[in-house]
Amino acid sequence: MSSLNPQETAQLEKLLNMSGGYVLDFSDGTFGVFFGDAANIDIHSERYRSNGASKAKKLREFWKLDENAIVGKVLLAMIERAELIASRAKSASWRTDSVQDEKNIELARQCRSIANRLLAGNVNLNHLKNTAVVFDAKHLGEQIRRMEASIENDPSLAIGTAKELIETCCKTILAERGKPVSGSPDIQELTKKALKELELVPEGIHESGRGSDVLKRLLQNLGAIGNGLAELRGLYGTGHGKHGKAERLDPRHAKLAVGAASTLATFLFDTHTETMARK
């Protein structure tokens, strides 16, 4: 399913003129052709008709059922169509409303940003989402959704949440292993404790082991991810007051932070699960 939230769907519905069951200027026939060309999807199939047969209801069902990448791809094509329709209507009319035009341009920009967020993803967080379900970790699940939703629109929030994700990951694993954390240790100490509990500290690797030097370097780098995210959050992320003219990072930097955090969290959770199963 896509990660569209209610605020985003409201913006999309407004741009796509979905009141009354319609979508833009589509007929049933052209709606089917559009989806076939854009995503090789039969939008008129039973899969998308569970809540009704109108085009708007089928589109809402598509948003609910299909993955971010597919929904983002289709949305970008629809937004282009909406912009083309608006451009033709404007050129055909002698009346101009500059205020409304600006509002429409801004709405289209916001909707394009939503579609790009869905495509951004290709920071794949599905494995972590499943992990949150397995551990019944609702807070972890909320952090994952927040990161995914903010990569494109709010990179600072994504970076701040990536750091918090590592903290939650380490605390969850330590609690699961009967070593709950007391006080407020910093992320470097938390990561070190988790690595030690999982017997993954670099110095714990035997020198004679094949590729031991490579494993040590990788683990050292993994251990440093949390500290690096904390520093990045302090400079650009949420959680600290910034100068009013402070610059923010781009979505590509947020993708890097989220990707690094998810890689570390996935590795730690997988290691925890496998080692517990052997006991």
DSSP states of 225-264: HHHHHHHHHHHHSSSS---TT-----HHHHHHHHHHHHHH
Question: Tell me, what's the pLDDT at 61?
Answer: 96
Question: Tell me, what's the pLDDT at 121?
Answer: 56
Question: Model confidence at 124, in pLDDT bands (50, 70, 90)?
Answer: low
Question: Tell me, what's the pLDDT at 243?
Answer: 46
Binning the chain into helix, strand and coil, the percentages to the nearest 5 are 70, 0, 30
Domain ranges of the chain: 6-119, 126-278
- Please state the pTM of the whole predicted model: 0.53
DSSP assignments along 146-158, one per residue: HHHHHTTT-HHHH
- HSE (CB half, 13 Å, CA atoms) of 97? 9
Pseudo-torsion of CA 223, 191, 153, 156, nearest 10°? -90
Q: Kindly report the number of other CB atoms within 10 A of residue 99's CB atom.
A: 8
Question: Tell me, what's the pLDDT at 115?
Answer: 86
Question: Tell me, what's the pLDDT at 122?
Answer: 54
> Is-contact 265 188, C-beta < 8 A?
no
Please count the residues of the chain.
Answer: 279
Q: What is the mean pLDDT of residues 53-65?
A: 95
Give per-residue pLDDT as tens, 153-188: 788 888 888 888 899 889 999 998 998 888 888 888
85 contact partners, CB below 8 Å, separation of at least 6: 24, 25
Give per-residue pLDDT as tens, 187-233: 888 888 888 888 876 565 565 555 567 766 777 777 788 888 888 87
Decide yes or no: CATH 3.90.1200 for domain 126-278.
no
Q: CA 270, CA 256: separation in Å to the nearest integer?
A: 21
